[in-house]
Amino acid sequence: MVIVMKTTATNDDVKNIERLLKRLDLGAHISEGEERIIIGVIGDKRLLDGVPLELMPGVDKLVPIVEPYKLASRTFDPEPSTIEVGESQIGGKKLTIVAGPCAVEDEEQILKVARYLKSQGIDFIRGGAYKPRTSPYSFQGLEEEGLKLLAKARKETGLLVVSEVISTEFLDQAVEYLDVIQIGARNMQNFQLLREVGRLKKPVILKRGLASTIEEWLNAAEYIMKEGNYDVILCERGIRTFETYTRNTLDLSCVPLIKELSHLPIIVDPSHGTGKGNLVIPMSRAAIAAGADGLMIEVHPDPKSALSDGPQSLDFDGFSELMGEVAKIAQVLDREI
Ligand code: PEP
Ligand code: MN
């Protein structure tokens, strides 16, 4: 439930409500809109039975949240969320570009990519250390060694590090090295992993499951938020359809839809979304045009020799071209890159 305050409500009115909720063991999430404040009630709303909240000074009305996901819903927080990571912000005017190889392969590879990305002026590097591969015979990632190499790249370049965790077992270890945790498509409904990530104070990129509806995806975000971690960034990465020319079908209609349903930032991964390097730039343009807050792009110094996802990875020239193309779209939309 949310408490919609009157446009004339004072700070004291808001504080009073916060105090009352706290006494009842409920939390309050304050969303300051241009005209009025909305207070999202966190916790079991049955604790409010018989409490005449609507009669309190400054209160306009009480609105129930009808969606199955509450904290992730736009009703709970009508203002778009921005998420701070180091000096960077995700969900603000500036687009967030997360780029890097599918997998960390060795020191030379990741440092080469990191230095190049730094020269492109982006803030985030990605690289898989624990790789959830379809075949058990494919390269499974360098695991902790990969995380150490990412930390080394951060130390040298100052880039913020994003990498996927695939189980609760490695979570504590991984968190030491990462600025943002990635939950991959295959783990979008690994509820125990979602709960544990929700107890951390680290932003989480939550990728959409391979065959998940938007409602299931937002419910997965809710699992994380319910534990107290509100720093969730959604990432559309394509879904399974009958089409086989592309690896997945990139569902760009989800971008404006998510913006209506949720206050969470959303980025788009056209690399996994299409599986084809030649489609990455056009779909990046389209994603930003549709209102995405950023992109996740696979970049490799030599895609042909990549240990995973080479066909969908851009080389350095390709990525530079992408940045130029995205900058044009950003300008039209009054966004920065
Ligand atoms: C990845 O980002 O490397 C990855 C495995 O993506 P997804 O979980 O979207 O398949
Ligand atoms: Mn990949």
Q: Which domains does the chain have, with CATH numbers?
A: 2-63 (3.30.70.1140), 83-332 (3.20.20.70)
Q: Is 285 in the pocket of ligand 1 (CB under 6 A)?
A: no
Whose Cα sits closest to atom 9 in ligand 1?
A: 185
pLDDT in tens, 138-186: 999 999 999 999 999 999 999 999 999 999 998 999 999 999 999 999 9
Q: Which atom of ligand 1 is nearest to the CA of 128?
A: 3
Q: Is 208 in the pocket of ligand 1 (CB under 6 A)?
A: no
pLDDT in tens, 66-96: 999 999 999 999 999 999 999 999 999 999 9
Dihedral sign for Cα 154, 159, 162, 168, please.
positive
Which residues in 96-113 are b (16+ Cβ under 10 Å) and which e?
bbbbbbbbbbeeebbebb
Residue 280: what pLDDT? 98
Residue 45: what pLDDT? 86
Answer yes or no: is pLDDT of 20 > 90: yes
Q: Is 207 in the pocket of ligand 1 (CB under 6 A)?
A: yes
Q: Is 237 in the pocket of ligand 1 (CB under 6 A)?
A: yes
Which residues in 228-250 are b (16+ Cβ under 10 Å) and which e?
ebbbbbbbbbbbeeeeeebbbeb
pLDDT in tens, 98-114: 999 999 999 999 999 99
Helices and strands (H, E) in the chain, number of each type? 10, 14
Average pLDDT over residues 44-67: 93
pLDDT in tens, 220-238: 999 999 999 999 999 999 9
Q: Is the pTM of this model over 0.85?
A: yes
Residue by residue, DSSP assigns 77-88 as --SPP-EEETTE
Burial group, residue 216, by CB count within 10 angstroms (0-12, 13-18, 19+): middle
Answer yes or no: is pLDDT of 275 > 90: yes
Q: Is 335 in the pocket of ligand 1 (CB under 6 A)?
A: no
Average pLDDT over residues 272-282: 98
Best residue for ligand 1 mutational test, from 130, 161, 237, 251 (most atoms within 8 Å of Cβ)? 237
Residue 155: what pLDDT? 97
Q: Which atom of ligand 1 is nearest to the CA of 308?
A: 3
Query: H or E stretch including 204?
Result: strand 204-207
Q: Is 238 left (phi over 0), alpha (psi -120 to 50) or beta?
A: left
Amino acid at position 211, single letter = A
Amino acid at position 31, single letter = S
pLDDT in tens, 132-142: 899 999 999 99
Cβ proximity of 319 and 299 under 8 Å: yes
